[in-house]
Amino acid sequence: MVAQNQRYLRSHRTVRRLLRDGALGRVGLVVGHYYRVPHEMAPSLSQLPHRALWQMGVHHLDALRYVLDQEVVRVLAQSFSFPDGDWPEGDTLEVLLEFDGGTHATYGASYESRGHEYFGAGQEFYERLVGDRATLHVVHRWLLLCAPGKLPRLIRRGPRSVTEEALLLQQLADSIRVGTEPECSGRDNLQTVAILEACVRSATEGRWVDPQELLRAEG
């Protein structure tokens, strides 16, 4: 099992439910952004290139797979840092993605967003899902559904009876006790790892990369 804890946030699980219920219709476009102020990182991350990808991008890209229930078939990425700054290399990430269900997505993450120290504890997340029936806005953990001819409607996520970490551990316990396949199994996570590898290759080589091709090459 892999600790992809973003899947267990009530916001992402609510988005997944709305998509499965058809509230947005067919989703053609997703736009996601994550911003964070410059901060100290664990040595294991601070020494890596493409830090924005490995620290938070991995979780958001996995959550996007989860809510759309689609797999990525093409990736175009770039990883960089602001010019003439004192930030480490690779603290900003931009990715274009195409999914096998026809959805297109853009995702950006940056650890160079100064001035957010007192906003959301120094972090900001925004996601827009555009469907042929409605558009859904996700701002941190607030969900706003906008349908044609109707006023925007706040979507409640429901009570948080247990923490995301507890949900993860419960799935792990169930898989050990009765063999239940966890949502974040190692097998499933190969798709997410393939997206990460595709991002790195794309950023390095300046071309579109197919994660499914990478998986087939590994056999």
Write the pLDDT tens digit of every residue in 148-163.
Answer: 999 999 999 988 888 8
Cβ-contact 213, 28 below 8 angstroms: no
Distance, in Å, from the CA atom of 59 to the CA atom of 74, rounded to the nearest integer, reads 18
From the list 112, 28, 102, the residue with the least C-alpha distance to 72 is 102
pLDDT of residue 97: 98
Question: Tokens 């952004």 map to which residue?
Answer: 33
Distance, in Å, from the CA atom of 60 to the CA atom of 55, rounded to the nearest integer, reads 10
Average pLDDT over residues 166-179: 92
Share of the chain above pLDDT 70, in %: 95
- Supply 128's token pair: 């827009």
Angle at 140 between CA 19 and CA 107, to 5 degrees: 70
Average pLDDT over residues 123-134: 96
188 has pLDDT over 70: yes
H/E segment holding residue 143? strand 142-146
Q: What is the pTM (predicted TM-score) of this model?
A: 0.91
pLDDT of residue 88: 56
In one-letter notation, the amino acid at residue 93 is: L
Write the pLDDT tens digit of every residue in 189-207.
Answer: 999 999 999 999 999 999 9
76 has pLDDT over 80: yes
CATH of the domain at 180: 3.30.360.10
Q: Which range marks the domain in which residue 124 is found?
A: 5-218
- Supply 159's token pair: 């009570």
pLDDT of residue 86: 56
Domain tally for the chain?
Answer: 1
Q: Among 17-21, 90-94, 98-102, 131-135, whose mean pLDDT is lowest?
A: 90-94
DSSP type of residue 211? H
Distance, in Å, from the CA atom of 195 to the CA atom of 58, rounded to the nearest integer, reads 9
Distance, in Å, from the CA atom of 25 to the CA atom of 21, rounded to the nearest integer, reads 9
